[in-house]
Amino acid sequence: MTKIIYIEHNGQKHEIEVANGLTVMEGAVQNNIPGIDADCGGGMSCATCHIYVKEDWYPKLQNKEPGEDDMLDQAFEPKANSRLSCQVTVSDELNGLVVHLPEKQV
């Protein structure tokens, strides 16, 4: 299990133990964290699991697959540290990862 810290747009913080191998999106959905919609269910085709990764964590994540940036173009207020949480797989190296949730997904 790996600790992932989800921070909602209103500041509400959720520290969740997520099983390795799940995505950051699945960790949020399975634990009913508001602010991650994941309409397409992890298919990288909807941009409604958009997160902002805390700056010092951003370079430590796996690189983006081709296509992720194309979807992020369509996200609500994407920034330089934006990711799709369905594309970030949880592993020991991400213990303590902090992700901020956008004001809304659509």
Nearer to other proteins by C-beta: 2 or 48? 48
Helix, strand, coil percent values for the chain (each to nearest 5)? 20, 25, 55
DSSP letter at 60? G
Least distance in angstroms from the C-beta of 27 to other proteins: 16
- Please report where in the chains the tokens 């796996």 appear, as a residue: 62
65 neighbors 44 (Cβ within 8 angstroms)? yes
Binding stretches for other proteins (CB under 8 A)? 37, 39-41, 43, 45-48, 69-70, 73-74, 76-80, 106
Least distance in angstroms from the C-beta of 43 to other proteins: 7
Q: How many other CB atoms are there within 10 angstroms of residue 30's CB atom?
A: 12
Least distance in angstroms from the C-beta of 86 to other proteins: 13
